Structure 1
Amino acid sequence: MDNYTAAPTSDLTLPDGRVVTCVNARNAGLVWQEIRTDCYRLDLLDIPAGGSIIDVGAHIGLFSLFAAERIPGVRLISCEPAPATFACLAANLTAFAPNATALNTAVGEQPGSAELTYYPDAEAMTTLETDDEDDRSNIAAVASNLGIADSVHDYVQTFSRRTERYTVPVTTIDRIIADHDLGRVDLLKIDVERAEPAVLRGITDDNWPKIHNVAVEVHDIHGRLSEVVTLLEQRDYRVEALQEDMYRGSSVHIVLASRT
């Protein structure tokens, strides 16, 4: 794991010295560790300077900051529905990616509203589609792979007992593309804890050709990995599905899709 220091004010100091605002420093440290492995293969995508990225499920903005470091002048549209997490996202983008746009919204199949389940003790697992069994299984697998299983046993059993629910706005990728006049999306990144198929279904045929790369975290329950891979292949992407070492034995996979 990267070395980082956590302050009681829920700040996280990254290895390069930047101090980011977070809800829970331990959780944010794990998210940063995953992003630092370049799990979405950003460094291989050849996104041009000034290119556009839509970050769906941006959490506190760590992937957005990772992208802003590597792509000069990148245009970032970062979406996060949870109020507390969005406040951190907005603060971090203001500090380290001031040209980015933070949207306090969920993304789905149709515009409207939906109930969001927020876990104060595990805010990265906030979702529109709850599945306690999947969550507990994935936490246990990650803890085992990181060699910290003993220290998180109680956490695995109790993290979902403290929940908050909010009605949040829902937009679509189509609406984001229109509202921000995006003629091209160099990368659509999605991490929405089981709601990923709905995000993809919210893209109409007219907009798929504008999206050149897709990187989506997929929870392989109820055939969702196959569903996502097939959907992207049918839209003329070259598709690769993989599983990071820290998620070995869990339902979590990364699907990468690029225009041929």
Structure 2
Amino acid sequence: MKCVHIYQKFVYKCRQVASFCRHTRTPLALSLDTLYLKRGPFVAVSGDGLRLRIKPRSGESFTFYENMVRHDYLIDGITLRPGATVVDIGANIGAFAVMAASIVGPRGRVIAFEPIPETFERLRENVALNGLGQVECRRAAIDAEEGEIALRVAAKSSGATAHRITRLGDDQHARVETAPCLTLNRVFEEYQIDRINLLKVDCEGSEYGIFDSLDPGLAARIDQVAMEVHAVEGKSTERLGERLRTLGFDLRRSYLWYLWVAFNAAGHPAGDRVG
């Protein structure tokens, strides 16, 4: 069984390498990092010329692959067009925010939230690297209540990979970071948002609180949701799905088992590009 797992992992990495060769301008550096052979930091460049500064052996090449090669959040009917407004909750080092900003253009708007300090600085660095003035970055978490939130960062994580950030955990060497926390209701108010054309969510379990606390009137002003759903003790994915439907969303499961996409049932088309 172990041999099968190793073989499957090898095949998957080979597919990544092949994709880097076909769809990026820096295939060698990305491929070496995927195979744990890259030693120093480097700037990865997508086929469209988008740049992302990568730390080696950190999993960030996979983040680049998910967002700038495979376009995980622009699948299953999700669309974007120039001038759209995007809210990115759990922006990490900025791979999705940079890609989305390149689509919405200077007339559009991307508001990116990332709570972990060093990851937030990486986000700002990557946005600046691409000269994207339409991206607004803020160090904050989004959840059910406003105030301050404590986040546990696993010992093996530099903080650059959001999937290693959890509220609870048994890692005795983990460190705790605090961050300001907003509700999505407050985001609408503070940023004077009329409509969110695409809400991207990858926040390690805070998705439950975000939608539980979301005002139905504001939910009607969200056209599309692309969201990673995480298993959290005491939380129910079934109930989350019911909540989204109650808020007026047509919920669909992606071919990626952990990714949900949802569309405003009232039907507000938000673009002409399908990822």
Range into which the TM-score falls when normalised by the shorter chain: 0.7 to 0.9
Deviation, 1:118, is 1.7
Report if aligned partners of 1:12, 1:29 keep a CA contact under 8 Å in 2: no
Question: Aligned pair 1:104/2:139, yes or no?
Answer: yes
Partners of 1:168 and 1:77 in 2: CA distance: 17
Deviation, 1:98, is 2.3
Partners of 1:198 and 1:242 in 2: CA distance: 22
Letter in 2 for 1:229: G
Partners of 1:171 and 1:31 in 2: CA distance: 25
Letter in 1 for 2:59: N
Deviation, 1:19, is 4.1
Residue 233 of structure 1 aligns with which residue? 245
Partners of 1:175 and 1:233 in 2: CA distance: 22
Residue 156 of structure 1 aligns with which residue? none
The match for 1:259 among 246, 257, 264 is: 264
Instruction: Tell which structure's C-alpha radius of gyration is larger.
Output: 2
Letter in 2 for 1:235: L
Partners of 1:28 and 1:105 in 2: CA distance: 21
Higher mean displacement: 55-64 or 114-123: 114-123
Alignment of 1:212-231 (within 5 A): 212-221=223-232, 224-231=236-243
Q: Percent identity?
A: 20
Residue 90 of structure 1 aligns with which residue? 124
Residue 179 of structure 1 aligns with which residue? 190
Deviation, 1:99, is 1.7
Report if aligned partners of 2:113, 2:137 keep a CA contact under 8 Å in 1: yes
RMSD: 2.4
Counterpart of 2:243 in 1: which secondary structure?
helix
Question: Aligned pair 1:21/2:53, yes or no?
Answer: yes
Counterpart of 2:165 in 1: which secondary structure?
coil
Relative distance call for 1:169 and 1:128 in structure 2 (3 A) is: farther
Residue 204 of structure 1 aligns with which residue? 215
Give the TM-score of the pair, scaled to structure 1. 0.77
Partners of 2:57 and 2:50 in 1: CA distance: 14
Deviation, 1:85, is 0.5
Counterpart of 1:169 in 2: which secondary structure?
strand
Question: Aligned pair 1:52/2:85, yes or no?
Answer: yes
Deviation, 1:121, is 3.2
Partners of 2:154 and 2:45 in 1: CA distance: 24
The match for 1:130 among 135, 144, 168 is: 168
Q: Number of aligned pairs? A: 226
Report if aligned partners of 1:128, 1:195 keep a CA contact under 8 Å in 2: no
Residue 254 of structure 2 aligns with which residue? 242
Partners of 2:217 and 2:56 in 1: CA distance: 40
Gaps of 5+ in 2: 1-15, 21-26, 266-275
Letter in 2 for 1:258: F
Deviation, 1:45, is 3.0
Question: Aligned pair 1:30/2:62, yes or no?
Answer: yes
Partners of 1:12 and 1:69 in 2: CA distance: 17
Counterpart of 2:216 in 1: which secondary structure?
coil
Partners of 2:71 and 2:41 in 1: CA distance: 24
Partners of 1:13 and 1:213 in 2: CA distance: 29
Gaps of 5+ in 1: 133-159, 245-251
Relative distance call for 1:47 and 1:116 in structure 2 (3 A) is: same
Deviation, 1:32, is 1.8
Report if aligned partners of 1:24, 1:121 keep a CA contact under 8 Å in 2: no
Counterpart of 2:150 in 1: which secondary structure?
strand
Residue 180 of structure 2 aligns with which residue? 169
Relative distance call for 1:46 and 1:216 in structure 2 (3 A) is: closer
Report if aligned partners of 1:186, 1:211 keep a CA contact under 8 Å in 2: yes
Give the TM-score of the pair, scaled to structure 2. 0.73
Report if aligned partners of 2:149, 2:179 keep a CA contact under 8 Å in 1: yes
Residue 271 of structure 2 aligns with which residue? none
Higher mean displacement: 120-129 or 66-75: 120-129
Relative distance call for 1:259 and 1:105 in structure 2 (3 A) is: same
Counterpart of 2:111 in 1: which secondary structure?
strand
